[in-house]
Amino acid sequence: MNRGSSEEFHTYTDKVIEQFRKPQNMGRIENPDGVGTVGNPVCGDMLRLFIKVKNGIIEDIKVETFGCVAAIATSSMTTQMAMGKTIEEAKTITRKMVADALDGLPPHKMHCSNLAAEALQKAIEDYERRAKGDKPANAQEP
C-alpha cells in the first residue's frame, strides 16, 4: 500500500500541484477536428485529447485524463502550450518541454505519466489524415 503524506507528494513541484488543483481545458470537444488517445498498460494512465483547428491554428483543445497527479498536470500544461498555436508550432511540443514547463517531474513519472504531448501529436496526425479525406483514426471510444 502506498501512503498519504508520502514523499511522493513532496517530490511534485509547486507548478505540478497548481496544475493538478486547477487543471485547464479538461473535458471533451463535440465534433473535433482531431482526436488522439494514448494509454499505458503498465502504469495505467489513459488520456484522450481533442483539437479544433481553424486556418491551421489550434483554436480549441481539451483533454480527458485518467491517471495520477502527474498525468493530470501534464495534460493541463500540454493543452495550454498548444492552445492558439499553429499546427506546425504544436508539432514541436515534446514531453520534455511539458515537464520543463512544470519545473520537472519525479523521474519515475517521466515516461508513463507524461503522455499528453504524445496524445497531442496523435491528434494532429488524426487532423491531417482527416484533412486529406481519410477516415478519422483514434476516434473510437476506449
Q: In this structure, what are the phi and psi dihedrals at residue 60, rounded to the nearest 5 degrees? A: -150, 150
Write the binding mask 77 to 116 for another protein: x where contact by CB under 8 A, - elsewhere: -------------------------------x---xx---
Contacts of 38 (CB under 8 A, 6+ apart): 46, 47, 115, 118, 119, 122
CA 123/CA 48 separation, integer angstroms: 9
**30: contact with another protein by CB under 8 A:** no
Q: For 65, which DSSP code?
A: E
From the candidates 53, 112, 116, 124, give the one annotated as an active-site residue.
112
CA 9 to chain centre: 21
CA distances, 13 to each of 3, 93, 112 (Å): 19, 21, 18
| Interface with another protein (CB under 8 A), residue from 18, 60, 64, 125 | 64
Residue 68 is among the residues annotated as catalytic for this protein: no
| Interface with another protein (CB under 8 A), residue from 48, 95, 122, 130 | 48
- Comparing CB distances to another protein, the nearer of 133 and 142 is 142
| Interface with another protein (CB under 8 A), residue from 32, 34, 36, 45 | 45
C-alpha cell at 99: 515537464
Q: Which residues bind another protein (CB under 8 A)?
A: 1-6, 8-9, 12, 17, 20-21, 23, 26-27, 37, 39, 41-48, 63-69, 71-72, 108, 112-113, 141-142
